[in-house]
Structure 1
């Protein structure tokens, strides 16, 4: 039975396929096994060594001729490749032949297909014979190669066996040399002194650090007995003679090692002379501090006596007045005595504070002018919690301290609170807010820069307008009526200054620059007048007072109610916070030293509340802590003003008026 000839026909037209096959069958008496191929997937699936001829219908195949021929090349298939129904174009025919076609027939030359098919079939058979001979040669060569391979393996095993012992010896020797070299290198370069001594204590090696420690040359120590016994204890302290006036103290550690094949000791010496001297200095300083504490205790004992002495007549006359057993003609004398001793006590306290300020160079008698830097710091503290909640970093640069301007402390703090609050509000988590103060001619200049969302350049001219915001959706997301910056501009201009804004654009942050005129720190004549007799009316003013001392609370309440204010009192910070939330007072007066929660914490809690009232309410710290540090802490925690006890009724009323009348 004849074996069929396997043919792949690349043609998408069944009609054209029948024409081609019938043309071949009429002239060739051979059985054909034809597989018609319509797409690339079928073509790849049917390519195998049994295929003898590939026919490509140039016009009716969707598979490109060049791609079909390239696939044969890529798969190492060398069989005849005949193109039929080609264009009647000589150039096209040449290109196909160059690309690898065995024959090229135009549609007008199809009658030649049977003849060319026979020739191609002969070529295919010839290729098969050549492939068979090549396979025989390859098989013979493979057999020879295998023999040579196994022989070479055996030879390699023999060579490796001979070299193995030699290699092992070389590795051991190299490892020993490397180990000794590394050990020597570590010893030489170690900053601590290192000495190798044998069992007899004779120096066999010494590094440069040890030579420096002993202040000797290498040849002077090698072969000599070490100058002190080698102890087995770790961290033993030894004295080292350097040949100079002073001896050094070293900490010694000993490790047993092998040195050049023999047991030895590696001694490490660390110079602790300076540490010992520092320890001695600390001991001296401690003794000095203890002596200073004794002096302080003695001073406090004297101070206690001097402060208690005026209390005796104050308490004595007060008790007599309360008992109503004092003659009428002695009442004025009693009150005069009480006032005189109270004034004496207040004067002593004032003197103590003045002495403290003088010793630190901080004595300043300026109750009117405002330190702008302190105002800025206080405003920063009011937004600190909000900034921390967003992991924002507030970076300050106060190149000039004690920058005095004439202005309203509460309103100045309101200006910067608004700027800082906006910076925190519109800066994404992890961003930064920069605050810088400097002098600019006769003005104090403050710059507030953030890395936030920035401002559209088209909106910049309207930033300070009332009721204007960049877009309503942002307004709804962040809250607010769009009045903050307009109010800021108004307040800055009321202080005789100006404010500017810059932004490179959306996503590039914003910078606000505020200029406020500087003023002399000298007091004007109007500011130095006695205000105790000024009649002030606080009608309609709601004041919250916090103090854990009932006597102080009653006194403050009486003074302010006497001026017409509505006063609420609290004896603790939690109670005060509750009253604040319920009544929203116009002014807060708080003591600092209170049990459980102090005044600083209370102020921070109030400033952190999400309301404009909490952020801008005037607040007075009224406390017995009257030093410069205490004042700074009060402002940093959010208080507008720091006043020290005792305070006169007139001065208290004046300060309340200064804060509240400007904020109403």
Structure 2
């Protein structure tokens, strides 16, 4: 027969939380082990001799909370049945006190088991309650579920965005097949096809860029450059979408150069993504502000707007791959919502960072880029434009067109001819 001290030590030092309760509706705590005290931040003298529901009450700020009553019901059922009760994973917030002495409830999840301890006559003399703190597991499962849901929403949106341009392209192709005689109508039809193809190409390029970045296949053409030139190119690139929505654009740049090391094309892509997002998520005739600040070690570029803003949850996940703010029902602005994920990845490749902030829904957003500053002169452009040369007459050339898509090869051959 093992010594009683060994049984007590096994209980107190056990790897899972445990406490012993009286078989009464009050469920007075008779003993509690070290693991449970560690998880809940309690001292033994704060629990022993007191009702479990006095030590761990429901959160008064949560009118729908029934944690204490549900646990009490399960304990009473254990007493009446004399059988073990395995409860499902349960949300049971734990009261805590912050350093300022204010009380709050910390959300925790448990997998409790009530085990009746019987005497020789089969009477319940106490209840052994064992439990594990499974909060981390539950939150990981919730995160996976949320990520899966966002992925499903993204795939549905992707299908919509890729199919959307096909209707005008198909209609335009049918009109051309009818042999239009009006040159203006032909040009209009052709421009529709070109515009929709460019839209689809942009979507696919974004997808390919995200894929390349996540697999580490992006190669930067890094050199010292003036970030003010990057900003100028990004402003020029996004001017059509800003003007189309009637926004007022304010640009504030420092007097001197802002030299950083980076890939000009990719940094233009980063700033343009932020400007495009600001234009899309700001109601018409809104305001967009781009500011640049230079200090001894960093160059910062911020883009703020008077748009729809973001709640705290969305700010936290703004740069997640499948995360996106609410859009109008007609989704007239298009896009896949992967731009910010791409921005974060490209900034990381430049040893930089990006952050998001918002005062709440309807109160605009602010995105800030930060890059290490260089004390150097900008290098030449990645691809300088060669000087104009006098045209020389050459003999006709033969061009071989190869493509795994027969129609693509045929159209390219016609274009070359």
Indicate the TM-score class for this superposition, using the shorter chain for normalisation.
Answer: 0.3 to 0.5
Normalising by structure 2, we get a TM-score of: 0.38
Normalising by structure 1, we get a TM-score of: 0.24
Between structure 1 and structure 2, the one with the greater Rg is 1
Q: Which has the higher contact order (CA 8 A, sep 6+)?
A: 2
Report the structure, 1 or 2, having the larger helix content.
1
